[in-house]
Structure 1
């Protein structure tokens, strides 16, 4: 594909492994986002994270997953031409004040994630900054630089993935044997943030993060999380009671709080899956979920 067809407009932001700019595609007269991933050194070839991201995005075609249009090379860098989504959830999370909007956005996120998990892909870094919203009100899961194709559930995996505030307890305790449930913990943290308009668990270090979790959800025992004490980085913690979700999330419905609790189960084997979450009564009772059109109208004054 001719590189000259794309004209750079402005800088948009940084992904896990590259910068993202807004470009105009002169052949289609539309705007696109181009993510530039730098090679490690001249002559070393394509960075494996770029290959992984390209491969995954070519396979995962879904309305709630960012679409890869094209790939080209320039100045020894690989460039991913992606569909444009004008804003990120973390920029507009203050607008999710009513249950209908929160429910609509969460439903889209879960639909995209359920599709990923059904196709054996873990994202491993879900957070509001990696959830874009298009002009037509669709959530777009993006930044697959740390995503992983799950071939063997028992195989050891890389640690140190996922942004700290959205990192599951099993990762904080250093397990290398984790699965798709780690993404659902991240979704729970995002859901809590949409309800209260601020990050739910804001630790400064891994130890501080696990303390924040225990001081909020209560210190787990063996009955809550079997095998916790044999994880590589486990350390005993003082007993701390669980806070009341009614007090912590006063604006949320009972169904919302119940779903949130199921997302934030300590034992990953007991954590609700994305497909199960979509069947939760939260989505079939109370306020109906906002449509893409509803969300687009709410966000119309805030999209850049």
Structure 2
């Protein structure tokens, strides 16, 4: 077992070849830093488990996340460049994003940008689902934005292989998870629900809340901005009963893409008359 270092990393300090530039955020299990790779001359993100919480079980979770994500090769999934011990810290190294989708949602977003971001998210999750992996924690904070509004889904730390039995209480973030996931029974349909919540927020400017009964808050704005076919896709993704949703992100993506022409034409027409 590696020793636990209690001190947090200071801005300007070094961790191996990485110079810490700023702290990006603190989660339940880890802190994420922006850093500069002094050998390669590039900026990266360092995800480091909180030292006081480090145990063999936690490290195994992080190792599993690294093994899982490093197998993925998709433009909308955040790649892991390395996962290693540096000066007694277990560190996962990834590309450095400009901001999170959560940050971007604090400003007004045009319809066509929202539509494209949703397509990218669905594309990445569909790829994970094809590889029998459920993300289990899809939320704006885990969607990272890069140049040219390119997004990548991060944090497969609690993702599960679909073939494996998932036991215990629900994992995920309250407010972004499907009802059955909160009961400890996530599936690909649970990820669909989480994407549906984000889609609803994109086009209504409101977050749907439990018990998720229609019409939801922001329904008038949704109807004004989105074509009925697009609303139908979002509504199906947010069905309370899992079997009434799309079976996975791939099926939702296909339905979503079929609305493209009508949805964009409708949005442009509304914009011209408003």
**TM-score if structure 2 supplies the norm length?**
0.82
1:265 CA drift (Å):
1.5
1:44 CA drift (Å):
4.1
Mapped pair 1:103 → 2:111: no
> Which of 50, 60, 63 is the equivalent residue of 2:75?
63
Write the deviation string for residues 218-277 of structure 1: whole angstroms up to 9, x where unpaired: xxxxxxxxxxxxxxxxxxxxxxxx559852613222122111011112221221131122
CA RMSD of aligned residues (A): 2.5
User: Alpha carbons of 1:156 and 1:123: their partners in 2 closer, same or farther (altered >3 Å)?
Assistant: closer
User: Alpha carbons of 1:245 and 1:45: their partners in 2 closer, same or farther (altered >3 Å)?
Assistant: closer
User: Alpha carbons of 1:245 and 1:42: their partners in 2 closer, same or farther (altered >3 Å)?
Assistant: closer
User: Alpha carbons of 1:147 and 1:42: their partners in 2 closer, same or farther (altered >3 Å)?
Assistant: closer
User: Alpha carbons of 1:120 and 1:106: their partners in 2 closer, same or farther (altered >3 Å)?
Assistant: same
User: Which position in structure 2 is the counterpart of 1:122?
Assistant: 134
Mapped pair 1:190 → 2:164: no
User: Which position in structure 1 is the counterpart of 2:3?
Assistant: none
Task: Mark the runs of 5 or more structure 1 residues left unpaired by the alignment.
Answer: 202-208, 218-241, 289-304
Mapped pair 1:27 → 2:2: no
1:96 CA drift (Å):
5.4
Q: SS in structure 2 opposite 1:255? A: helix
Mapped pair 1:264 → 2:241: no
8 Å CA contact retained: 2:208, 2:217: no
Task: Mark the runs of 5 or more structure 2 residues left unpaired by the alignment.
Answer: 1-13, 266-274
8 Å CA contact retained: 2:193, 2:238: yes
Mapped pair 1:286 → 2:263: yes
Structure with a larger share of its residues in helix? 2
Find the aligned partners of 2:237 and 2:54 in 1 and give their Cα distance: 44
Mapped pair 1:84 → 2:96: yes
User: Which position in structure 2 is the counterpart of 1:137?
Assistant: 149
Mapped pair 1:247 → 2:187: no
User: Which position in structure 1 is the counterpart of 2:176?
Assistant: 166
Mapped pair 1:180 → 2:188: yes
Q: Which has the higher contact order (CA 8 A, sep 6+)?
A: 1
8 Å CA contact retained: 1:5, 1:26: yes
8 Å CA contact retained: 2:135, 2:160: yes
8 Å CA contact retained: 2:15, 2:87: no
1:43 CA drift (Å):
7.6
Q: SS in structure 2 opposite 1:64? A: coil
Write the deviation string for residues 166-210 of structure 1: whole angstroms up to 9, x where unpaired: 1212234x2x44311111100011111111233222xxxxxxx3x
Please, which moves more after superposition, 43-52 or 93-102?
43-52
User: Alpha carbons of 1:248 and 1:45: their partners in 2 closer, same or farther (altered >3 Å)?
Assistant: closer
Q: SS in structure 1 opposite 2:175? A: helix
Q: SS in structure 2 opposite 1:136? A: helix
Q: How does 1:196-215 map to 2 (within 5 A)?
A: 196-201=204-209, 209=210, 212-213=211-212
Q: How does 1:3-42 map to 2 (within 5 A)?
A: 4-38=16-50
Write the deviation string for residues 14-50 of structure 1: whole angstroms up to 9, x where unpaired: 2452100000111221100000014666784762221
Equivalenced residues, count: 248
1:159 CA drift (Å):
2.3
